[in-house]
Structure 1
């Protein structure tokens, strides 16, 4: 969708006042429709009543209802309460509430707020009505006019003023398409929204690009896998060759989007989208992105205040839409892939293998998916989730983590701080259930001849294998559900040697390190500097040597 703006001028004051009155009626109809839709009224019922109530034609009424419905859906999509919408703008309303603002500045703010509330007129495009029925662009001699329907087959005409300052201005393409449509009678829809800003009238025209040219740059030369991440706030790009191998990596940081206004974020997003498509054009590679629909932005008490703040200012979907629009213009192929398990596969398979960051590894998986490659589970991971000895260890570690979390939950009284702990406890219970299911024997099925035969697969085949591997590796080995340091997984992935990794991972905490030092008789350097030498353990008196029943140096890791 492309939106262009132009200024409107009138030949007489009467036409201007007629438009102001029409805008006032439409704005009132829009606000009334919004509130009635929240109460549960249907569009069909509203359309009958509003036409008589506001004395505007049925198409304007339908457009007002459509605009109100769009605003409600937009609020729901952004996880905001539609009932708390302030017409005219929340920021302006908050400023006007401040009593210290007065004089001319206050009057200016008040006028701006009133213009936003009252002076708006919107008309949807319609291909069957020569592009737009109520607000149609027409050509008269040497000028372009906007014909505005005021009801009862009456129209007013406004002159369109629009300077073309750039060589690639979209306005010239739009006007050329309109002229061609008038000549061939093959019209295209365009929507028009008229607003009053600082006592001037502006029209915002939105339309879809007509060009449907086939892309020149395709995945035949490889792709750029793109993964947008909130923490740290950046875009991870993995350049993938045609054969599925990694060529190079790159990152674009997005901190410029933080603490900016909506318009500023929109402008910066377009710049970033241009930068990405220019890189794709220069490297002659297609673009691969995730086909994400809903992105949770968090809620109060989820334990991620900073991350939640970033997500509230995160225009993920908008940025991807801009990339798709620009790629279409530059004839670059964009491939959308299923986002399922891209991060998990990248973190567990490619991050330790290539010593990559988990975000870059996720982008690499996106690129490989776009090229049609399927991610198989490494053989050493398959062996790991069938190794009873390792499963015992993993279950013990999860039980230990669960006990710590339960103790922490008991001592925490703050209801908001309890939420992330409860969430973690719920996840641990789920992980334990998955680990315990790995012990299950193959199920049997009863045939007609009463024979019992083993079914193919185990009970845990209802879980995705990558999900099982994640549960078996992350907390038992890394100590977290997902860690940024994934290098400990490399010996398991390459050699299948989990003993060595476990021995290292068991002593990450200070308490475990101190216990190990004490057991091994390691003397701190400070003991030889005037401290009581009687506290030094006797040489060779290592406690762990007397406890041969433990496989690991610390009982906590058994």
Structure 2
């Protein structure tokens, strides 16, 4: 394999602005990964590519004959978003400091089931948090595919959301959770996974969803406030009434 890199900074007169490295050995696994990348560019579906150099730390074992350096290639693929339909099952999602709360809602707005996907990010490295975020997004989209449902999310003001959560009980513990959480990364991971799976996603105004969920659904359905908020988010995406239940 050959690698062509663009040099940074001023170039000596007559020298190429690019540096070419030839004869880079590839493992069978690496060669297999390059095939879909080439296919994406050949079909015109790749919009950008990111290359990162990663060196295996000293002390960690590597396969015999391999280099400590690896090249990680990331390709952005353009995937069209599916259209959201209010007359279909919807999976409302409430993003929290340590988990994703979800509620599956019938087209008529009635609750079918609720649950949560853990997201324990505290104390992890940035790479570990990114990996766990992707796993949680994949689990959520897998659930949506299995239940034949589309997804409803809040369009969040991240600073406001963190401020609201920080005011809840267990504030010291919650602040540590919030420090490790990137709402933007969570929502982006869900949207990307959903687009690849052909699942429609709708963002809704987050105003008062927690209050509506607590007042209208928590006690009535015997569920926690986060799952009740997810239920309110899903119903809002479907366009159902939000009047108070007396």
Measured in 2, the distance between the counterparts of 1:201 and 1:173 equals: 22
* Match of residue 154 from structure 2: 290
Larger Rg: 1
Matches within 5 A, 1:160-175: 161-163=25-27, 165=29, 171-175=34-38
CA distance 1:313–1:206, shift in 2 (3 Å): same
Distance 1:355 1:305 in 2: 28
Q: Aligned-residue CA RMSD in angstroms?
A: 3.1
CA distance in 2, matches of 1:372, 1:215: 18
For residues 211 and 159 of structure 2, the distance between their equivalents in structure 1, rounded to whole angstroms, comes to 17
**Length-normalised TM-score, structure 1:** 0.36
Report the TM-score, using the length of structure 2 for normalisation: 0.77
Match of 2:49 in 1: 190
* 1:301-357 Cα distance to aligned partner (Å, 9 max, x none): 988211111111123321221111111111111111111110011111222332322
Partner residue, 1:463 = none
CA distance in 1, matches of 2:111, 2:213: 12
2:172 to 274, 297, 305: 305
Consecutive unaligned residues in structure 1, runs of 5 or more: 1-143, 379-492, 494-558
Match of 2:5 in 1: 148
Q: How does 1:133-532 map to 2 (within 5 A)?
A: 144-150=1-7, 151=11, 152-159=15-22, 161-163=25-27, 165=29, 171-181=34-44, 188-194=47-53, 200-212=68-80, 215=82, 220-230=87-97, 233-255=98-120, 257-295=121-159, 297=162, 304-378=171-245, 493=246
After TM superposition, give the deviation of residue 294 of structure 1 in Å: 1.8
In 2, distance between residues paired with 1:203 and 1:340? 44
How many Å apart are 1:154 and its aligned residue?
4.5
Residue 208 of structure 1 aligns to a residue in which SS?
Answer: strand
Q: Structure 1 residue 148: deviation in Å?
A: 2.1
- The whole-number CA distance in structure 1 between the counterparts of 2:187 and 2:33 is 21
Cα distance in structure 1, aligned partners of 2:212 and 2:109: 15
- Structure 2 gaps of 5+ residues are 58-66
Q: 1:310 to 1:176 in 2, by over 3 A?
A: same
Paired with 1:238 and 1:170, the residues of 2 have a C-alpha distance of 37
Q: What secondary structure sits across from 1:268 in the alignment?
A: helix
CA spacing shift, 1:219–1:146, aligned 2, 3 Å: farther
List per-residue Cα deviations over 1:359-413 (Å, max 9, x = no partner). 11110010011112241245xxxxxxxxxxxxxxxxxxxxxxxxxxxxxxxxxxx
Q: Where is the helix percentage greater, Structure 1 or Structure 2? A: 1
Distance 1:311 1:271 in 2: 19
Larger RCO (alpha carbons 8 Å, 6+ apart): 2
Return closer, same or farther for 1:161/1:221 CA change in 2, 3 Å cut-off: farther
Contact 1:228 1:236 in 2 (8 A): yes
Contact persistence 2:46–2:78 (CA under 8 A): no
Contact 1:216 1:331 in 2 (8 A): no
The alpha-carbon distance between structure 1 residues 355 and 200, as it changes in their structure 2 partners (threshold 3 A), is closer
Tell me by how many angstroms 1:219 deviates.
5.4
Give the Cα–Cα distance (whole angstroms) in 2 for the partners of residues 197 and 316 of structure 1: 30
